[in-house]
Amino acid sequence: LEVRENEVTALIGPSGCGKSTFLRCLNRMNDTINICRVTGTILLDGTDVYDRDVDVVQLRARVGMVFQKPNPFPKSIYENVAYGPRIHGMTANKADLGDLVEASLRRAGLWDEVKDRLDQPGTSLSGGQQQRLCIARAIAVNPEVILMDEPCSALDPIATARIEELIDELRENYTIVIVTHSMQQAARVSQRTAFFHLGILVEDGDTEHIFTNPEDQRTQDYITGRFG
C-alpha cells in the first residue's frame, strides 16, 4: 500500500477488519500492546519504522495521531498545544512558544473560538472543538503524516463537516491517513482509498475508481451495502 505525499488516503472496511490495527502500525502505537506482533516493512522516507535504530518518540512526532474520541489532556487549552513543542525543545523562548500555539490553533480552525480563554481546560470545549484541539496538538510538533482513526464518529453532522473541511485544508501541508466507516466521508475527503476485509488489504487505488469501478467483487459488495 502506497500512501502518497500531501494526499488523503481513506481506509474503509467492516468493523473488525483491521483498519485501526493497521493504522496504529504506522507510528508503532501497537508497541504498547504486549500481545501484538508486527511483521513486514513500513517505509517512511526509505527507512523501515520498525528498524531497531528508529527513535519511537521522534517517529511519533513525525507521524502524529488523532483518535476516535477526542482526548484532550487534563490541561488548559494553551498547554494542550504547547506540551509537545515544549518537551521536544522546539522553541527558544515563551514568546516563540506562544506564536507556535497560535499558529497551530489557527491551522486547526480553532483560534478565533478560543483565543480569549486559552487558560480554560481543554475539556470545557464542545466535542467538535475538542477534536480540533487534538488536531492542533498533533500539528504543533510539525509532523509529516497525520493518522486519523474515525475522527468524526463521536461528532454531530455540523462538527463533522467542519473536520472534513479542515482535513481538506491540512493536506496542503501534511499527508493524511484516515479510518472511516462512512463511505460518503471517504468519497468526500480522500484522493485514494484502501479496502480491508478480514485482516487483508483487498484493494486500493484512486478513490473515484474504487467507488465507481472496483476490481474486486468484495469491494463492490461492501460499497454497495451488501455486507458491512
Specify if 163 maps to a domain: yes
Specify if 111 maps to a domain: no
Question: How far is 159 from 182, CA to CA, in rounded Å?
Answer: 15
Q: How high is the pLDDT of residue 227?
A: 79
Instruction: Give 56-121 as a DSSP string.
Output: HHHHHHHEEEE-SS----SSBHHHHHHHHHHHTT--SSHHHHHHHHHHHHHHTT-HHHHTT-TTSB
**What's the chain's Rg over C-alpha atoms?**
18
Q: How high is the pLDDT of residue 176?
A: 98
Q: Is the pLDDT of residue 228 over 80?
A: no
How big is the CA angle at 224 (ends 214 and 168), to the nearest 5 degrees?
70
Residue 130 is given by DSSP the state: H
Q: How high is the pLDDT of residue 226?
A: 87
Decide if 192 contacts 7 (C-beta within 8 A): yes
Q: Is the pLDDT of residue 147 over 80?
A: yes
Q: Domain range spanning residue 216?
A: 8-72+141-223
Decide if 60 contacts 28 (C-beta within 8 A): yes
Residue 182's closest CA among 5, 21, 12?
A: 12
pLDDT per residue over 10-44, tens digit each?
999 999 999 999 999 999 999 989 899 999 999 99
Specify if 100 maps to a domain: no
Q: What b/e string do you get for 97-109 counting C-beta neighbours within 10 Å, with b at 16 or more?
A: beebbbebbebbb
pLDDT per residue over 166-198, tens digit each?
999 999 999 999 999 999 999 999 999 999 999
Decide if 104 contacts 139 (C-beta within 8 A): yes
Q: How high is the pLDDT of residue 84?
A: 94
Burial of 158 (0-12, 13-18, 19+ CB in 10 A): exposed
pTM recorded for the entire structure: 0.93
The amino acid that residue 65 corresponds to is M
Helix (H) or strand (E) holding 21: helix 19-25
Specify if 17 maps to a domain: yes
pLDDT per residue over 39-59, tens digit each?
999 999 999 999 999 999 999
Specify if 213 maps to a domain: yes
Q: How high is the pLDDT of residue 154?
A: 86
Q: How high is the pLDDT of residue 216?
A: 96
Specify if 55 maps to a domain: yes
Specify if 123 maps to a domain: no
Residue 15 sits in a domain whose CATH number is 3.40.50.300
Tally of structural domains, the chain:
1
Specify if 34 maps to a domain: yes
pLDDT per residue over 44-101, tens digit each?
999 999 999 999 999 999 999 999 999 999 999 999 999 999 999 999 899 999 999 9
Q: How high is the pLDDT of residue 61?
A: 92
